[in-house]
Amino acid sequence: MSEKIVKEDIASIAKALGKDVERFAGKTILISGGAGFLGKYLVGVLAYLNDHVLKTPCRVISVDNFITGTQHPHFDYSHREDILNVWGDVSQPLPVREDIHFIVHAAGLASPVYYKKYPLETIESAISGVKNLLELGKKNKGLEGFLFFSSSEIYGDPDPKAIPTPETYHGYVSSVGPRACYDESKRLGETIATIYEEQFDMPTRIVRPFNVFGPGMGHLDHRVIPMFTYQALNKKPISVHGDGAQTRTFCYITDAMTGFLQVLLKGKNGEAYNIGNSSNEIAMHDLAKLFTEIVPGASMKMIPYPDTYPAGEPLRRCPDLTKAVTDLSYAYQVDLKSGLDRFVAWARKEPGYID
């Protein structure tokens, strides 16, 4: 049942992408962070395209150093010849000798608890990672697309007048604060990607995801939806940090992954795109309340911010998606309750989610 959810999600992403995916036929795609949450889906979608859509299969090279990444049976492609899984650290140059047509740099430390724990690795994966992969791309004359996974965090704690936040907002970010290792390295990663586009005419595109969730996020991920799900399923009180008034917009994986691949395939070179769901903005205490409705017997409590969590989180976050809608025909479909129902149904069958 839970694997069925993943399979349906992957099929729906492939369907939403339509004919644009034909550009992947016969091409080689390198994905960094392939054992992460988004990387697992990227590989899964390409495997599905090979099985069901493309006349000539693509080849996938998935690279990860497993600092937080995991293997999961619902995303196990180890038996396939079209998908190569390798251990590799993108903070060092990768010894890839074959022709590459698309590069997706999704390696990173995405969860605040982990980037607080590994601040230097966070910086290295973004900055050395993007530079090494761009250098690799530069050697490939047939490179058609390079996608850098930045973050909505590059906006910092936006001016209320800049919410919903468009790509033109420059951000309000501390260079020395507790979140700086993540925010600032994503910002510089974007700068590096745009310089390679300007100086070497490379097809670099940037995506700024706004809080994506879905199956494949492990119970130890520490991001809010897996954490609330783990607590709710184990009848532990759902712990809301602070006063719970801070908001986020949550985007279900099928919508987000469609958007990411649209940026890779159709985005303008050197440009950044917000991807998320601007209708799903919710305060954390309301999100916890929603979990008490979805999971019978779940309860909630307010707690001070734990020391493991980086202070200074943005109070409100919501994307302006006009650019992605206009340039890429991006259209999100999944409301928060439907997405959470799917995620909780998947997590219920996951051994790690039940103590």
Q: Is the CB of 53 or the CB of 105 nearer to ligand NAD?
A: 105
Taking CB under 6 A as the rule, does residue 272 contact ligand NAD?
A: no
Q: Is the CB of 151 or the CB of 277 nearer to ligand NAD?
A: 151
Stretch touching ligand NAD by CB under 6 A, among 31-39, 78-86, 161-169, 171-179: 31-39
Taking CB under 6 A as the rule, does residue 29 contact ligand NAD?
A: no
Q: Is the CB of 222 or the CB of 298 nearer to ligand NAD?
A: 222
Judged by CB under 6 A, the chain residues 229 through 268 that form the site for ligand NAD are none
Taking CB under 6 A as the rule, does residue 36 contact ligand NAD?
A: yes
Taking CB under 6 A as the rule, does residue 89 contact ligand NAD?
A: yes
Stretch touching ligand NAD by CB under 6 A, among 43-51, 109-117, 227-235, 289-297: 109-117
Which secondary structure element, helix H or strand E, spans residue 64, and what is its range? strand 59-64
Taking CB under 6 A as the rule, does residue 189 contact ligand NAD?
A: no
Active site residue 182: yes
For ligand NAD, the binding residue among 44, 112, 137, 209 (CB under 6 A) is 209
**Closest distance of CB 40 from ligand NAD, Å:** 8
Long-range pairs of 166-171 with CB within 8 A, sequence gap ≥ 24: 166/274, 166/320, 166/322, 166/323, 167/208, 167/271, 167/272, 167/273, 167/274, 167/320, 167/323
Taking CB under 6 A as the rule, does residue 154 contact ligand NAD?
A: no
Using DSSP's 3-state secondary structure scheme, residue 325 falls into: helix
Taking CB under 6 A as the rule, does residue 136 contact ligand NAD?
A: no
**Closest distance of CB 135 from ligand NAD, Å:** 15
Taking CB under 6 A as the rule, does residue 69 contact ligand NAD?
A: yes
Active-site residue (options: 41, 114, 115, 182):
182
Taking CB under 6 A as the rule, does residue 151 contact ligand NAD?
A: yes
CA distance 171 to 165: 9
CA distance 234 to 250: 23
CB 261 within 8 A of CB 303: no
How would you classify the pairing of strands 247-249 and 281-283?
A: antiparallel
Residues near 99 by beta carbon (within 8 Å), at least 6 away in sequence: 28, 140, 142
Bridge partners of 128? Answer: none
* Cis peptide preceding 310, ω within 30 of 0: no
Q: Is the CB of 140 or the CB of 277 nearer to ligand NAD?
A: 277
Q: How many chain residues touch ligand NAD (CB under 6 A)?
A: 31
DSSP state of 182: H
When CB distances to ligand NAD are compared, the closest residue is: 36
Bridge partners of 86? Answer: 63
**Closest distance of CB 253 from ligand NAD, Å:** 9
**Closest distance of CB 33 from ligand NAD, Å:** 3
Taking CB under 6 A as the rule, does residue 110 contact ligand NAD?
A: yes
- Residue 147, φ and ψ in degrees, nearest 5: -115, 120
Binding site for ligand NAD (CB under 6 A): 32-33, 35-39, 63-69, 89-91, 106-111, 125, 129, 149, 151-152, 209, 211-212
| Residues assigned a catalytic role | 182
